[in-house]
Every structure is written in C-alpha cells, then in structure tokens.
Amino acid sequence: MNIKLKIWRQAGENKPGKFESYEVNDVSVDMSFLEMLDVLNENELKKGNDPIHFDHDCREGICGMCSLYINGKPHGPKHGITTCQLHMRTFNDGETIVVEPWRASAFPVLKDLVVDRTSFDRIMQAGGYVTVSTGGVPDANEIAIPKTVADEAMDAAQCIGCGACVAACKNASAMLFTSAKVSQLALLPQGGAERKRRALAMVEQHDAEGFGACTNTGACEAVCPKEISITHIARLNREFTRASFSGNETDYQN
C-alpha cells in the first residue's frame, strides 16, 4: 500500500502548529498503525528531518499511551481497540489519513502528537486508591463477593486512562475515566471505608484540572477502547450526591 498522511506538527505547548503532508510507500497491510509511523520516522531520520513525536509503550492495548486522533476518531475507525491494535488493512491504498493529538485544554500538547495527561494522574492521586489495611493476600480470598459484583468492578478496572473519552466529548469531560476509577473501588468492600472522601476529592480534582461537565451524549462510551459503560457515570453521580449530604463515612456506608 501507498499511504498519504496529514500529521499535526507542533514544537511545544503554546507554540503554533500546523498539518504537514507525508507519504509512506510499500506499507504492509499487516502493519499496525504505529509500525507504519515507525517506518515514516525512519525515512525522516534518513533525510535528516525531525521525526514525528508520538506516545507508545506496550503496543498490546494495555498501557493507553497510543493516543491518536485518526480521521476524526480517537484511536481510528475501528471499535473497541487502541491505536496500536489498528492495522493498516483498515485503510485503502492511496488513502489520505489525518492524524492529530487529543484536543483538550487539560491535555496540553507537548510536541506533535504527544499530550500531557498528568491531569489523570492527579485525579487518581486525589482518591483513586485504598489506604485501609486489607490484610495479606489470602485474606482477600476470604471476603465473599458476588460474581456479578466482582465482574462489574473488573469491567470498570479495565479503563487504561488513554483519554479517548475526553477527546471525543464535546465538553472535554473526563467523567467516564473518573467514574470508572471510582466504580472499581466503590463496588468492592475494600473500597467502602473511603467512599465519601474518594467521590468528593476525585470530582473536585476533575473540575480543577479544567475538564468539562458531562452532558450524557454517550460519545465517550462509543469510542472507549475498553468499552467502559456510561452506567459508571450514573454510579459516580450517586456516590457524589450521597457523599455531599452525608455526615461522615460511617453514615455514608450505611
């Protein structure tokens, strides 16, 4: 395949950016999208040009680093996959592909296609963890948890923090991410001791980072590579409302 690319180039945060055109020839249909970008960068380096900067790590659909807006969709046209799982057979020979970074004020562009997503880290630091003593590993197996509840918690825990939900949302809201991280702990007994503080602190940090409000359009769920359900946002709203009107953690748990 011969592929034409229009890629966003930007020297750094608050620097002007623009699209630049490239061509990559003899692309194998079995290449992943990132492998195709690797070939492009090899060609650019041979010419003495600055390579295109983009995020990647595991390339197995787990780390959430491969955050690219491809032809107007986060992670490209396929459903339920990350960019590293997107193969070039998805596209046609001679097609022009437009590649951009996430567009959100809370995700400033660092360079080219790389954005700063440490805002997600700060939301997690605000409450996305358990600080109570949960005992040793064998103790966890002694806590009876219904399978349906454990499965739902695991579904929420699948969130890889890629930011596709933010990129797709017209308000650049990160409520799907935040709600998934709240849900995975709120559903389990180990997370019950801090439910009130967690919900309040993580939502407060979400807003402080500059993410928008959720208006329930469902765009986040539609593009999530792990297919996280927006029902978690409903749970977060319940957690937040109960926490706002309860007196203390003990009252809240009851």
Per DSSP, helices labelled H in 47-130 are 118-127
Q: How far apart are CA 174 and CA 169, in angstroms?
A: 8
Burial of 130-143, coded b for 16+ CB within 10 Å and e otherwise, reads: eeeeeeeeeeeeee
Is the pLDDT at 185 greater than 50? The verdict is yes
Is the pLDDT at 91 greater than 80? The verdict is yes
Is the pLDDT at 254 greater than 50? The verdict is no
The region of weakest confidence among 52-66, 85-99, 158-172, 182-196 is 182-196
The amino acid at 15: K
Tens of pLDDT along 30-86?
999 999 999 999 999 999 999 999 999 999 999 999 999 999 999 999 999 999 999
Displacement of CA 107 from its chain's centroid (Å): 11
Q: How confident is the model at residue 190 (pLDDT cuts 50, 70, 90)?
A: confident
Is the pLDDT at 251 greater than 80? The verdict is no
Q: How far apart are CA 164 and CA 228, in angstroms?
A: 11
Average pLDDT over all residues of the chain: 93
Is the pLDDT at 133 greater than 60? The verdict is yes
How much of the chain, in percent, has pLDDT values that exceed 90?
87
Q: How confident is the model at residue 246 (pLDDT cuts 50, 70, 90)?
A: confident
Q: How confident is the model at residue 131 (pLDDT cuts 50, 70, 90)?
A: confident
How many Cα neighbours within 13 Å face the side chain of 191?
19
Beta-bridged to residue 87, according to DSSP, are: 32
Burial of 228-249, coded b for 16+ CB within 10 Å and e otherwise, reads: bbbebbebbeebbeebeeeeee
Per-residue pLDDT, averaged over 12-41, amounts to 97
